[in-house]
Amino acid sequence: MLRVDSLSAWYGEAQVLRDVSLDVAAGEVVTLVGRNGAGKSTLLRCVMGLHAGQRGTVELDGRDIGRLPAHRRARLGLGWVPDDRGSYATLSVAENLTLPPTVGPDPWSLERVYEAFPALYARRDSPATTLSGGEQQMLALARVLRMGARLLLCDEPTEGLSPLLVQQVADLLHEAKRHGVTVLLVEQNLHFATGVADRHYLLAEGRVVEAMDNSEVRSRERELLSYLGI
């Protein structure tokens, strides 16, 4: 579904991605793991079309989207879940949910979102930034599901969440996967990653240094954790 080929990216003079290539098949959940500054978030931003200084190929369903502006990519089915959760202070919770147009064949209805997240329903008319951190994370995920996005790009969706909420994010991603949604996520939490994902790419200094499956991550957990510095 998503193919990234020899992607390089820069911030000014500094090169943050070097010839990154990876594939994500339809219906797969794939994580990007790596230390802070390894280029994981930049990679997601390049796929979304939010990073200006890049070279290489980004293909969605065989179509080169590398030159499309972000809003066109979103309309092709990319769902953006930013690391800061992307809550709008000047929009109510309901408006945050309905801001993006529906872009996919299987969008969640607002009723379904509210049924799954009673907290969002209760606060639907309040500014989104008055929600708790966990609720804002649910809002960010619910928003792209309501869009009907086919490929979710999630930047550390579990960061700063309690174990209970982490489990809720995992359940949500499982459910999305059951409905054929593809997910590419940046994740530091290896337990979470092996629980929801099919495969993992390890990034270091802007390169993909390893592609691993779940059993490999589990068997090398200690080594990986110390490598990630967690």
Which of 230, 199, 229, 222 has the alpha carbon at shortest distance from 31? 199
Measured from the CB of residue 134, what is the shortest distance to another protein in angstroms?
20
If one asks whether residue 99 binds another protein (CB under 8 A), the answer comes out as yes
Which amino acid, residue 126?
S
- Binding-site size for another protein (CB under 8 A) equals 24
Closer residue to another protein, CB minimum distance, 14 or 89: 89
Which residues within the stretch 132-151 sit at the binding site for another protein (CB under 8 A)? 143, 147
Other Cβ atoms closer than 10 A to 71: 10
Angle ∠(228,219,224) on CA atoms, nearest 5:
5
Other Cβ atoms closer than 10 A to 211: 13
If one asks whether residue 107 binds another protein (CB under 8 A), the answer comes out as no
Question: Which of 66, 82, 107, 206 lies at the binding interface for another protein (CB under 8 A)?
Answer: 82
Closer residue to another protein, CB minimum distance, 86 or 133: 86
The dihedrals phi and psi of 165, each to the nearest 5 degrees, come to: -75, -35
Question: Which of 101, 160, 163, 180 lies at the binding interface for another protein (CB under 8 A)?
Answer: 101
H or E stretch at 111 = helix 110-116
Q: Which two tokens stand for residue 44?
A: 């997601």
Point out which residues bind another protein (CB under 8 A).
48-50, 69-71, 74-75, 78, 80, 82, 86, 88-91, 95, 98-101, 103, 143, 147
